[in-house]
Structure formats: C-alpha cells, structure tokens
A and B are shown apart, each in its own frame.
Chain A
Amino acid sequence: MTDNIETDVVIIGAGPVGLFAVFELGLLDIKCHLIDILPKVGGQCAELYPEKPIYDIPGFPMVTGQGLVDNLMAQIEPFHPTFHLNEMVESIESLGTAEAPRFRVRTSENNTTFLCKAIVIAAGGGSFQPKKPPIDNIEAYEGTGVFYAVRHMEMFRDKRILIVGGGDSALDWTVNLQPRAKRLTLLHRRDAFRAAPHTVEKMRTLVAAGDMDLHLGQVVALKGEAPVLEGVIIKKDDGSTIDVACDVMLPFFGLTMKLGPIAEWGLNLHENLIPVDTEKFETSVPGIFAIGDINTYPGKLKLILSGFHEGALAAQKVHRYVYPEKKLLFQYTTSSTSLQKKLGVAA
C-alpha cells in the first residue's frame, strides 16, 4: 500500500540539525515531516556517541549526545512533527517551478510518497549503512551468501552459518540462529566481546558443549563460485590460515555513513557535500535546502551549532515558498505573544 502525504516541508535526516529545523520552521507556521533511515531519532548523536559529552553547544557547559537529542525533542514538541523512521528517501521529483517549487519525495521501505513545497536535507554524512568488510569480490555474494542483516531467521535454517563480529548483533544472532543452523561458527578478531554478558556466556556454553565453533581471526577471502558461497579463508593472528566451510556469512561490523541516493537527486555536489549559498542555504535546485554536516560553503565548520544557524536562515526562505503572499515579520520568542502561543507558553 502506498501512503500519500501532503505537507509543507520534508526534512531528510532526524539528527540534531534536522530536529532544530522543525523548531525554526514551526515558529513560521511551517509543518514538517522528517524521514530517517535509523530506527530512532538523533542521527550520529544517538547512533555513534549517545554517551559522549559535548562541550560546545551554546548554553550547555556539557551535554551528552543523547541528552542533546532528548532536549531537542522536548523543544520541538509543540510543533508535532511526524517522523518516518527506518525509511530512506529514494528519489526526489521536481514538479513545480523555480518560483513555486513542488516536490514528490519517495521513500524505500513503506513506499511512502510525500508532496511538499520545500525539502531540507539535513543528512549529516549521508545515510547509515552496515559497514562492509573490505574483502575481495564480497559484493558478488551479497544477497545469496553474504547478508548484513537478518530479516527472516527461517532463511538460514539448516545452513552452515558464519557470523563475524563481537558486538551485540553478532552475539544475539549467534545465540538465536544456532538452533536453526546446520552448523554455526562465530568469528571474531580477539577473545573479548562487547556484548551483553549473559549472551556471551550462552555462546561460551554452546562452544564448550561442542554445539558451535568459535574462531579468532579475520576473513581474508571468500570461496565458491559467486554468487554461491562455499566457505571462507580465515587468517589468525599468528599468520596461519584455516578454511571454514559455510553457506552464508553474516558480518556484523556496525554502521557507517554513505552518501547513498543523494548523489542521484540532480544536485550539484562537491566531494560528496552539497554546496549552498550562505544567505538561504539553498542548493543548486530552488526549494531544496541543505543544512548541517552535509553542506559546504567557504568557511564551513562542521559543528552542530553551525547547523542550527543554517536551519534558522533556511527557514526564512522556505517561508517565501510556503506562504508566497505573506510578509514575514521577524520576531523574538521572548517578546512575541504570537510565537509564545505557537510554543504553548503564552500567558
């Protein structure tokens, strides 16, 4: 089923900068939908460094990545943005004119279609994707012998499974797939795991009982005529190699960011960044804005605070597209009753 959603602005990326853009647009009565590939909001702050202290957010001597995200969510709550998580924007179609832009935005997973008047790209380093190990020809086996996620466990029944990694995903799937597998092997680079202790314990019990294998080392090559995987060659720390037969390999190396489909949206790009002007933070396509780490301009600093500023300025131009007839009055939240009403704090 395809959902059709009509809104003022689609924000691509629900990291700190995308979230704050909701606030700046909201003050101007502009409604937003946010799309993010992660299952949660917060972008890098929530995915890469939720516990890390940040010291350069104005007004916060110290705040953690997750703390900042939580505060931003509270700050934009009055504007009731709609989130579409676990979805990636696949395509953008331009329907309007330079003076009155209109866009159709399509996402991957749920096949949602958005009609909007402006797009704000706040995608940071791109979209989070599983980290692929640099092994020769691995792409040729993807989807047949190599998987970066488990969608249906039954797919792996009675297979010889090799799981690679030492984190929660690797250990959880080891324990969950072991009863279904013909034989399961876990491969990690060292004999230390940063997964939940009881899961590690369970894995160790299975190994001790001879119900699965644990190897320490690295995959250096894949065997079998692509796309059929037959095994891997593992190199151990002492330089020796062993062969392990397997039908599927599941590497769990965490996530990294890739530019992804942004490259196909017809925007000018410079070294995987989107050039913008510094008045409106608009891209080469009128009506499409880029703010935060994804944009570039002379003097650009990749700081969260820069992204906040960029969002505020972009909102001014977005207002012209959304309300072409309305004159924009510049106001302060400290003194404007109308802004305070929008924030739900008017006396």
Chain B
Amino acid sequence: MGVIHVTDRSGQRHTLEAIEGWRVMEIIRDWGLPIEGLCGGACECATCHVFVAEEWIPRIYPPTEEEEDQLDTVVTQPTSRLSCQILWTSELDGLEVTLAPTGS
C-alpha cells in the first residue's frame, strides 16, 4: 500500500491511495479526478499528460520513443510524462504529479 499526490488544475492537492500494478492514469481516474485517458492507456492520445515533480523524475522508467511521439502533441515541460505509461509500484509511494492543462 502507498499513495500518490495529485495536484489538479485548480491547484488543489489530493492524496490518493495507489494500487500496485495500476498505471498512474488509472489510479487518478479511479479516484474521479478529471483525467481523460481517451485511448484507454494505449499511449495513443496524450490526454493523461502530467507534470512529475522533479525529484521523482530519476526514479521513474524513462519515456519510450512511443511516449515521446505522443508528448509531441501537447505543450510540455521538461518534467512532462504520460501517466498511462507510469506503472505504480511501492517504490513510487509518495509520487507527486500535477495534471497538465488541456486546451478548450
């Protein structure tokens, strides 16, 4: 057991119980926070874009070329990741992410 901390687009920080083996996108969606995940986690839409807190970046498996291609379709920061491509394990207990803004 462990948690992730998610800051939503209004700046409110939520602490969510995480589940081993779930993608971070799935955890966020399961708790009802506004994350779209249109393609269902297939790395095909970039609607689960998050900014990962800098200190966590080195502890996460780096993005694949496929994820980089999808990140090309949103406005990124250096800490941008697709949350469907981060599999939660207990090593990510306390992971800190912020939901990226979406266009209208």
Give the interface of A toward B (CB within 8 A): 44, 48-49, 52, 125, 131-135, 138-139, 165-167, 188-190, 192, 194, 218-219, 237, 253-254, 256-257, 302
Contacts and interface: CB of A to CB of B under 8 A. Distances in A.
B47 to A, nearest CB: 6
Contacts of B77: 218
Contact of A48 (B39, B69, B76): B39
B39 A133 contact: no
Contacts, number: 62
Interface string B55-69: 000000000000011
Contacts of A48: 38-39, 42, 44-45
23 contacts: A44-B39, A48-B44, A49-B39, A125-B38, A133-B75, A133-B103, A134-B75, A134-B100, A134-B101, A135-B75, A139-B104, A165-B73, A166-B72, A189-B71, A189-B72, A190-B68, A190-B72, A192-B68, A218-B75, A218-B76, A253-B74, A254-B46, A257-B38
B103 A132 contact: yes
Contacts of B46: 131, 254
B74 to A, nearest CB: 7
A140 B104 CA distance: 12
A183 B77 CA distance: 27
A48 B75 CA distance: 19
A111 B93 CA distance: 55
A167 B72 contact: yes
A195 B103 CA distance: 24
B78 interface: yes
Q: Which of A132, A237, A254 has the most CB of B within 10 A?
A: A254
Contact of A254 (B73, B102, B104): B73
A299 to B, nearest CB: 16
A52 B42 contact: yes
Nearest to B104: A132
Interface range, B side: 20 to 34
A219 B77 CA distance: 11
A135 B101 CA distance: 9
B74 A133 contact: yes
A253 B101 contact: no
Given A52-B44, A194-B72, A134 B39 contact: no
Contacts of B75: 133-135, 218-219
A176 B87 CA distance: 41
Contacts of A219: 75
Contact of B69 (A131, A194, A218, A257): A194
Contacts of A133: 74-75, 103
Interface string B71-104: 1111111100000000000000000000011111
Nearest to B45: A48
Given A165-B72, A253-B74, 15 more contacts: A48-B42, A49-B44, A52-B42, A131-B103, A133-B103, A134-B101, A135-B103, A139-B104, A189-B71, A189-B72, A194-B69, A218-B76, A218-B77, A256-B47, A257-B38
A48 B42 CA distance: 9
B69 A189 contact: no
